[in-house]
């Protein structure tokens, strides 16, 4: 079944800013990611978040993260989907570079 999203997130941290990603968040049991080619994985810092990128085109498709509450999150890069899929979904802005809080635009 398709899952309707209330929002997708634009983050300005050093990684997300460079990727230009819009993140749709799920738990690991809500998604099944299938890839046609190899993926590269990038980790840094505390290594709790793994960014997955296509080795063919270089695009970052998603990241996985072990959260502080013990849950496993999967963030899908909505920019990899057709624009009409997310055109009516609200974009929230997250200040990952400074306050680590959602901000009103």
Residue 40 lies in a domain: yes
What CATH code is carried by the domain that includes residue 75? 2.170.150.70
Residue with tokens 């635009």: 105
pLDDT 10s digit of each residue in the chain, 105 long?
456 688 999 999 999 999 999 999 999 999 988 877 788 999 988 888 999 999 988 999 999 998 888 889 999 999 999 999 888 999 999 999 999 999 987
Q: Does 49 map to a domain?
A: yes
DSSP 79: G
Q: Is residue 2 part of a domain?
A: no
Q: Is residue 1 part of a domain?
A: no
Quick check: is 76 in a domain?
yes
Question: Using CA atoms, how far apart are residues 59 and 38, in angstroms rounded to an integer?
Answer: 12
In a domain, 94, yes or no: yes
Whether residue 25 is contained in a domain is answered as yes
| Number of domains making up the chain | 1
State residue 60's pLDDT score: 95
Rounded Cα–Cα distance for residues 57 and 36 (Å): 12
Quick check: is 59 in a domain?
A: yes
Please state the pTM of the whole predicted model.
Answer: 0.87
Domain span holding position 45 = 7-103
């Amino acid at each position: 079944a398709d899952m309707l999203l209330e929002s997708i997130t634009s983050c300005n941290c050093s990684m997300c800013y460079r990727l230009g990603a819009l993140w749709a968040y799920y738990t690991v049991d809500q998604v099944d990611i299938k890839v046609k080619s190899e993926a590269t994985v990038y980790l840094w810092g505390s290594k709790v978040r793994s960014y997955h990128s296509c080795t063919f085109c270089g695009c970052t498709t998603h990241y996985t993260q072990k959260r502080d509450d013990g849950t496993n999150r999967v963030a899908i890069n909505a920019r990899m989907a057709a624009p009409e899929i997310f055109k009516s979904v609200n974009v929230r802005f997250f200040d990952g570079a400074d306050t680590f809080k959602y901000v009103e635009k």
